[in-house]
Amino acid sequence: MFTLLRIQRKFDIFQISNKQKIISKFSSYNNVTNAEKNISDALNNQTFGQPVHSTHPHIVNKDELVPGLKVEEFQQRRARLLNGVQKYAADYLKEKCGNRNHLIIIPSSTKKYMSDKIPYIFRQNSDFYYLSGCLEPDTILAMYIDETGNTKSLMFMRPKDKHVELWEGPRTGVDMAVELFGLDEAYPVDSYENELKRHIEFKKPLIWFDAKSCELQNIGEITKKSSTSLFVESPSAIIQGMRLFKSPSEQHLMRRTCEIASHSINEVMSESRPGHSEHHIFAMIDFKCRMRNANYLAYPPVVASGNNATTIHYINNTQLLKSNDLLLMDAGCEYAGYTSDITRTWPVSGEFTESQKILYDVVLQLQKELIGTLLNEGGQTLDHLFDTMCLRLGKYLQEIGLVPKHITDVVGLTRAGYQFCPHHVSHYLGMDVHDTPLMPRSLKLLPGMVCTVEPGVYISKHRTDVPKEFRGVGIRIEDDILINSDNKVEVLTSVCCKEIFDLENLQKKKEIEK
């Protein structure tokens, strides 16, 4: 209870600071012409540790730091966060900690290896990327605000190293970091301990650091060791409170990642045939998303045919597709740090059987109703939407004879519905697939929020309490939804087919094209 209250307060703090007009106190990037000149000069003999406009004009536009986002947006985020922690401390931590100086420390991800020197694809820590725009591993962002409201952002970078760069590719280095990321100062990562000690001695700040999520082991230890005499608080809930609301540029990126996955899934549905393996379908969706410039799939996709679809997290993807089966695919991609998350279920043969059609129609009607309920009674929060789903699913399944007629009360029908769909109907979506998990699903939906709507029905082949023709079937339909600036429900994945007529036509159309 106590933790929840703290998270709620950290969320509220942002709501208040969000309404204030925060004036950026950063000065080092004001002289844009100078900065641009320096960057372009530097490019003659050096490159950066991530795509920038000069080296990758096909990825990053002229005025952007990373695809879709300008450096000013990152500066504003840092300023809002600093104001947020100061306000939170003034309201709730006064008695425990009288200090008005705050230091926020956000480490990046580190590289991970599958075996000796063989790396996994690197993925940046979302909080770190959200606040810095930096795509390099083993880097630290530190932000500071004092009692008079003076702020500073600095980063500890991996230094340039000719030998290592020969193997691993270029690093941005210390010298270019200030201008590229719009910081006040930059230091080599080796000097972190000394700089931290100096700052702590001089300012005695309240430290905002989340040791649990810190992947950089030595940085975690140094930070803990250096701050033993100080009050340490996690900044995660405040940052997630910010990330929960997507800015206009983020909304644009969400639209893009959802479009990429939607078009790709339409193609996969039209090209899948009996005899393919689930593994082939995985390869197809991966290929099609990347060909549309997604970085990679956002998660290992579920490609589950027939009874496999009743295992909710089935990712083995090893079975062959059989003619009379349904195929459930839960797949999404990551584009410029933003993810999509879609599920479609379609008939392998291109035609639903009668019983499949009946069950699919229940899930489809329910899913469309739930989307229509968002922002209204029964759909004002994700938890409300879940209750609505369970009750209606219970009722609709009763209508087709899968739930006993004698159950008539709300609790009984809700429980019956839940037995057929034992997962939540929605989660927040953004830079992470299960985005901002510290944010409760009991928050009222507001403009800028993105979530999924994903009811399902799962009936194992071993169940004996439903008619035989409905056994061994898993169906889920999942779309991604934005509450847009007009406070309207915008379905970001609306181009992805889900009507029975369209699904049955996709394969036929593909045959005619040949």
Per-residue contact flags (x/-) with Mn ion for residues 5 to 44, judged by CB under 5 A: ----------------------------------------
For residue 282, the minimal CB distance to Mn ion (Å) is 17
Spatial contact of 469 and 491, defined as CB atoms under 8 Å apart: no
Nearer to Mn ion, 312 or 400 (CB): 312
DSSP 459-505: E-TT--SS-GGGSSEEEE-BEEEEE-TTS-EEETTTTS--SHHHHHH
Nearer to Mn ion, 344 or 395 (CB): 344
Nearer to Mn ion, 83 or 388 (CB): 388
Nearer to Mn ion, 153 or 340 (CB): 340
Spatial contact of 430 and 255, defined as CB atoms under 8 Å apart: no
For residue 427, the minimal CB distance to Mn ion (Å) is 6
Residue 334 sits in the site that holds Mn ion (CB under 5 A): no
Spatial contact of 82 and 145, defined as CB atoms under 8 Å apart: yes
The residue type of 235 is P
Nearer to Mn ion, 339 or 381 (CB): 339
Among 398, 370, 391, 381, residue whose Cα is nearest residue 477: 370
Spatial contact of 234 and 210, defined as CB atoms under 8 Å apart: yes
For residue 328, the minimal CB distance to Mn ion (Å) is 13
Q: Which 288-307 residues touch Mn ion, going by CB under 5 A?
A: none
For residue 373, the minimal CB distance to Mn ion (Å) is 18
Per 3-state DSSP, what percentage of the chain is helix, strand, and coil (rounded to 5)?
Answer: 40, 15, 40
For residue 225, the minimal CB distance to Mn ion (Å) is 40
Nearer to Mn ion, 452 or 493 (CB): 452
Q: Which residue is at the shortest CB distance from Mn ion?
A: 341
For residue 343, the minimal CB distance to Mn ion (Å) is 7
For residue 507, the minimal CB distance to Mn ion (Å) is 26
Nearer to Mn ion, 17 or 452 (CB): 452
List, in order, residues 6 or more apart from 512 with CB less than 8 Å away: none
Nearer to Mn ion, 270 or 452 (CB): 452
Report the alpha-carbon distance of residue 433 to residue 328 in Å, rounded: 18
**Among 127, 259, 286, 341, which residue interacts with Mn ion (rule: CB under 5 A)?**
341
For residue 362, the minimal CB distance to Mn ion (Å) is 20
List, in order, residues 6 or more apart from 429 with CB less than 8 Å away: 254, 339, 340, 341, 435, 450, 451, 452, 480
Among 186, 187, 185, 179, residue whose Cα is nearest residue 31: 179
For residue 473, the minimal CB distance to Mn ion (Å) is 20
For residue 435, the minimal CB distance to Mn ion (Å) is 10
Q: In what order do the strands lie in the sheet with 450-453?
A: 450-453, 479-483, 489-491
* Binding piece for Mn ion, criterion CB under 5 A, among 69-77, 119-127, 136-144, 337-345: 337-345
Among 395, 382, 458, 396, residue whose Cα is nearest residue 424: 382
Nearer to Mn ion, 153 or 262 (CB): 262
508's enclosing H/E stretch is helix 500-513
Nearer to Mn ion, 64 or 341 (CB): 341
Report the alpha-carbon distance of residue 402 to residue 476 in Å, rounded: 17
* Binding piece for Mn ion, criterion CB under 5 A, among 100-108, 334-342, 391-399, 500-508: 334-342
β-strand partners of 473: 459
φ/ψ (deg, to 5) at 214: -80, 115
Per-residue contact flags (x/-) with Mn ion for residues 434 to 473, judged by CB under 5 A: ------------------x---------------------
Among 362, 364, 25, residue whose Cα is nearest residue 182: 25
Q: Which residues are at the interface with Mn ion (CB under 5 A)?
A: 341, 452
